[in-house]
Chain A
Amino acid sequence: MSLQAEQKNENILLELQDIHMRFGKVKALAGINLKIKKGEIHSVIGPNGAGKTVMMNCINGLYKPQQGTIFFKNKEITRLKPYERARIGMARTFQKVEVFGGMTVLDNIRLGRHTHFKSGILNGAFYFGKTAKEEIEHRTFIEENIIDLLEIEHIRHKPVGMLPYGLQKRVELGRALALEPELLILDEPLAGLNLEEVEDMARFILDVNEEKHWKVTCLLVEHDMGVVMDLSNNVFVLNFGNMIVDGTPEEVQKNPEVVKAYLGEEDLYATRK
């Protein structure tokens, strides 16, 4: 029995226990519990202002929850800073794209590999053999695995600030992937994209989730119900900082409370078909 429990525990990548987050009197999160298994796509949905982004910021370390603990790979990370969480394998994209506008696409993705670069300041200052070699190794990785996957070869030397929104979102995903994360937090990756771009992005998410090299666990926040229900293994529904239900897409769609709180009276779910 204990062995089984341990195995079960090992299978869990991220665990939130009783997370509370208040801004003054406003309770953004009121006791959230969430378990994300390795290798799944877990979606978080909820109406506007439900606390989804706050929850992502708590997981990511940008906010410190007043109460509760967060475990990542069975280690407590509640007090770690965002850059420390990045080092242990957590990456995210933002709802409003937060790319480095002045850098080229390639530099943005290279920056995502920051934690993998080893050369220090002296080595960098004189660009000794080690730094030069390392730069080429990482460049090869980026070209073969990320730029090729995301189909952004043609813009690799363009400054990101000048690219259209859809491509910026793609670069942001590439930058997060360059970290080679175990958990990828995607905060509305499809917002503001057209149908074709949505399909591309969904394909990329499935690719990084399923391909042998990546096998990234995804935590997806999204409003596009069609995509959410098709992609995710589990869906977590949030409303006013409270969990309504956490289950498979079928369970969620059937849950009357979810339908009342979010999906609306009847068939709002079919937004894009």
Chain B
Amino acid sequence: MSTTFLPCGIYHQEYAKEHAWWQTPFIKGKMILLLIILFFIIPFFADSYGLSLCNQISYTILGAIGVQLLIGFCGQITLGHAAFLAVGAYTSALLILEFPWPAFMLDWGLAYPVSIIVAALMAGIWSVAFGLSSARVKGFYLILTTMAAQFIIVDFIITQYVSQIGGRGQAFSIPPETIKIGPIIIDSDLKVYFMMLFFVIICTAVLANLVRSKVGRAWIAIRDNDISADVMGINVIKYKLIAFFVAGCIGGIAGSCWISNLAAISPEHFPWSWSLWLVGVILIGGVGSIHGTIFGSIFMVLVMEGLQLLVIPLADIYPKLLMDFLFIKEAAFGLAICIFMIFQPYGLSYRWQQLKNYFNLWPFSY
């Protein structure tokens, strides 16, 4: 949409500098400040409510990154991403609960990290299986085939079969002290926060790196014009499937991280509306922008929490508001998307870029 300008008077003399993420000392300082806030200020000054909010934001970001990759960068519209989060969560939970781990793996706390990797691969494979239809169909038709992923995986396979494993009924509860990484038992919001933060940073970095190298460029080319991408030597089907695989992997990681926060999972944690929600997040944040994923997630989580805070004092007067809060939330979601589509179609990230350009170019207007 619009390019970001460098501040007045700064020029690059080497290509490497221009390829870098953080191009000026000011940006470097800003990012280091951000890291300090994320790693030292938030965890030690936020209460458990604040931390749980942060965890929810992280989970939304991890889910939305996959959707952003597919819709924003590869142009493959997907409406079934929650299914791959479910695959990740269930793979991880089943591995922890049912897999006969050797004693030393349990002692060293390797079971959960290994299960995250397996969950990522598993979700990636399922995602590729449902992405195969993208070889033949695009646009609206692909929306329906990806929706099939939701119905087949969550509503059929997981609800009907996977949930029955071990005879636990619908929900899998994960016993305390089974989720541990190395010697650390993940049992508090603070530890979940650090784990989620780690994965958010890794996944964001992976996506950002892919987008500035060969694979990501091929994705964007497929999004913009698949026929000429084919002519320029890109194996379109292969790169679409790679996109589905990477998106599925990130979804799997998101799902298997989330079980540490939930302590019990059931198919209801991954409804179809959650897939839709993730698409809404990237629409509000900005399609085709990594910033957008993060801004959208923060915005959606905070607005919904704000709504809740708003509703609670009103509950005395209108008790129905609290009873029907779920519907109010959905209405607010719809309204937010409508407002953004009309007034800010490029999302929050575009506004952010304009703001940055304003300061970079100051005192000139263009």
Contacts and interface: CB of A to CB of B under 8 A. Distances in A.
A135 B206 CA distance: 16
Interface string B202-241: 0001100110111111101101110111111111100000
B1 to A, nearest CB: 7
A110 B3 contact: no
B233 A115 contact: yes
A107 interface: yes
A103 B213 contact: no
Given A100-B228, A132-B19, 20 more contacts: A81-B235, A82-B231, A83-B233, A86-B233, A87-B233, A91-B232, A98-B228, A104-B3, A114-B214, A114-B217, A119-B213, A121-B210, A124-B213, A126-B205, A127-B212, A135-B213, A136-B15, A136-B19, A158-B3, A175-B232
B205, B206, B221, B223, most chain A CB atoms within 10 A: B221
A169 to B, nearest CB: 13
Interface residues of A, number: 45
Contacts of A176: 232
A83 B234 CA distance: 6
Interface in A106-127: 107, 110-112, 114-115, 117, 119-121, 123-127
Nearest to A115: B233
Given A111-B221, A135-B19, A139-B19, A124 B216 contact: yes
A128 to B, nearest CB: 9
Nearest to B20: A132
Contacts of B214: 114, 117, 119, 124, 131
B210 A125 contact: yes
A179 interface: yes
Interface string A69-108: 0000000000001110011000110100011111110010
A125 B220 contact: no
Contacts of B210: 121, 124-125
B106 interface: no
Given A60-B231, A135-B19, A125 B206 contact: yes
Given A101-B224, A103-B224, A127 B213 contact: yes
A126 B232 contact: no
B16 interface: yes
A191 interface: no
Which 7 A-B pairs give the minimum distances between C-beta atoms? A86-B233, A124-B213, A100-B224, A98-B228, A115-B233, A117-B214, A127-B209
Given A103-B220, A136-B16, A157-B3, A179 B209 contact: no
Interface residues of B, number: 35
A82 to B, nearest CB: 5
A134 to B, nearest CB: 8
A99 B209 contact: no
Interface of A: 60, 62, 81-83, 86-87, 91-92, 94, 98-104, 107, 110-112, 114-115, 117, 119-121, 123-127, 131-132, 135-136, 139-140, 143, 157-159, 175-176, 179
B66 interface: no
Given A83-B235, A111-B232, A140 B15 contact: yes
9 contacts: A82-B231, A83-B231, A94-B228, A100-B221, A102-B223, A111-B234, A114-B233, A115-B233, A135-B19
B209 A126 contact: yes
Contacts of A139: 15, 19
Contacts of B227: 62, 98
A39 to B, nearest CB: 23
Nearest to B222: A100
B288 interface: yes
Given A100-B224, A126-B209, A114 B19 contact: no
B209 A82 contact: no
A110 B217 contact: yes
B215 A124 contact: yes
Contacts of B228: 94, 98-100
B217 A107 contact: yes
A163 to B, nearest CB: 12
A91 B232 CA distance: 7
B206 A86 contact: no
B291 to A, nearest CB: 16
B233 A179 contact: yes
Contacts of A82: 230-231
B232 A159 contact: no
A82 B231 CA distance: 5
B95 interface: no
A92 B231 contact: yes
